[in-house]
Amino acid sequence: MNIYSDERIVLTLDAGGTNFVFNALQRGKAMIKDITRRANGDDLNLCIETMKTGFREVIAAIVGKPVAISFAFPGPADYPNGIIGDLYNLPAFRGGVPLKAILEEEFHLPVYINNDGDLYAYGEALGGILPEINSKLESAGIKKRYHNLVGLTLGTGIGAGIVRKNQLFIGDNSAAAEVWLFSNRFSPQVNAEDVVSTRSVQRVYAKNAGLEYPNELMPKDIYEIATGNREGNRDAALKAYHETGRALGDTIANLFTLIDGIIVIGGGITGAKDLYMPSVIQELNNNFYPSYINELPRLVQKIFNLDNADEEAAFCKSYSKEIPVPGTNKTLTYDPVPRLAIATSRIGASEAIALGAYAFALFGEKE
């Protein structure tokens, strides 16, 4: 499938707690300039009417008839049935609201609602990092292809989605890949999100710089301090990203072990990848020291950082060799280097989420 050549049109919505942003995609690209409207999340009737009005405005602005509506919406939710549960940022939806049914009744179009982490992963799998990796392997003459992916979004929190062979895996309760609730070996008393998100960078910097927490400094400010472009405690800033990267590496190592696929990271904190990624890689290359052996590698697979040109070249290199089949004159091709890759999103989280919504409406339930 190629989502960049599909002529069908899908209406999309970026649903935040403050604003709703509407558009339509065709051939994987936005058709118009975004239409932004206040969410009105504390008034259910007004919020629903805002959605209806926003989609009507998009329909009036595009040339062509849409085939579906597809978008990300905060959870908890029964996503397959489009029923939204109790939301913190949109309190009017508490108690359960059949949003899918409401919109289908209004527009007479199929409506698909998913978690933003799931759609981010789906967009990267169908139109982002996964096809890019497989294309480079093909160009290098390597037969191996990758079919499994975890998408991570880093920002105020940490979100995730899992894709296996072009299918989005959401679990039996629409709650798969809730990695924010992972434990973390560096801070076992809190959940993973507390040590790999915006507040981790802020909290560690404040602690080591002798400042009150919380304060007005954002991760971007701390990044500028770390890189010498702003006044502040540089050692504390570097430590903030080092500790966050180390904790993120623990979460990613567990995901590599479970999924055995590509991991791609998007979201606001990725602008500081040069500061946290070395600590991530260090943790992925770490060892365990169990009682029965001197040391044991943290991962079975060798991990390559595709943000580094040399490692990308090494990942796309052939390690295969021919081995004989005893008792015959036959040989088999054997690759002795099981390898995986980690990368920062090339297209960005927002575009990947929109692509995921578009692709899910066209292909997601048809695989």
pLDDT tens readout for residues 310-329:
999 999 999 999 999 999 99
Average pLDDT over residues 284-302: 94
Tell me the C-alpha to C-alpha distance, in Å, between residue 339 and each of 56, 249, 302, 304, 336.
48, 17, 5, 7, 9
SS (H, E, C) the chain: CCCCCCCCEEEEEEECCCEEEEEEEECCEECCCCEEEECCCCCHHHHHHHHHHHHHHHHHHCCCCCCEEEEECCCCEECCCCEECCCCCCHHHCCCEEHHHHHHHHHCCCEEEECHHHHHHHHHHHHCHHHHHHHHHHHCCCCCCCCEEEEEEECCCEEEEEEECCEEECCCCCCCCCHHHCCCCCCCCCCCHHHHCHHHHHHHHHHHHCCCCCCCCCHHHHHHHHCCCCCCCHHHHHHHHHHHHHHHHHHHHHHHHHHCCEEEEECHHHHHHHHHHHHHHHHHCCEECCCCCCCEECCCCEEEECCCHHHHHHHCCCCCEEEECCCCCCEEEECCCCEEEEEECCCCHHHHHHHHHHHHHHHHCCC
What is the per-residue pLDDT across 331-355, written as a single tens digit (0 to 9) for each? 999 999 999 999 999 999 999 999 9
Dihedral angle of Cα 344, 338, 143, 352, to the nearest 10 degrees: -20
Poorest-confidence range of 1-5, 120-124, 171-175, 320-324?
A: 1-5
Give the whole-angstrom CA distance, residue 76 versus residue 96: 10
| pLDDT at residue 367, rounded to an integer | 46
In tens, the pLDDT along 234-248 reads 999 999 999 999 999
pLDDT at 53 over 90: yes
pLDDT digits (tens, 9 = 90+) for 115-154: 999 999 999 999 999 999 999 999 999 999 999 999 999 9
Say yes or no to pLDDT of 44 above 70: yes
The average pLDDT across 158-185 equals 94
pTM: predicted TM-score of the whole model, two decimal places: 0.94
| Mean confidence (pLDDT) of the chain | 94
Cα–Cα distance for residue pair 332/310, rounded to 1 Å:
29
User: In this structure, how many other beta carbons lie within 10 angstroms of the beta carbon of residue 264?
Assistant: 31
Instruction: For strands 148-154 and 262-266, give the pairing.
Output: parallel
As a whole-number percent, the residues of the chain with pLDDT over 70 amount to 99
Read off the pLDDT band of 290 (50, 70, 90): very high
Domains and their CATH numbers in the chain: 9-114 (3.30.420.40), 120-347 (3.30.420.40)
Give the pLDDT confidence score for residue 365 in this predicted structure. Answer: 66
Nearest to 275 by CA among 219, 233, 230: 219
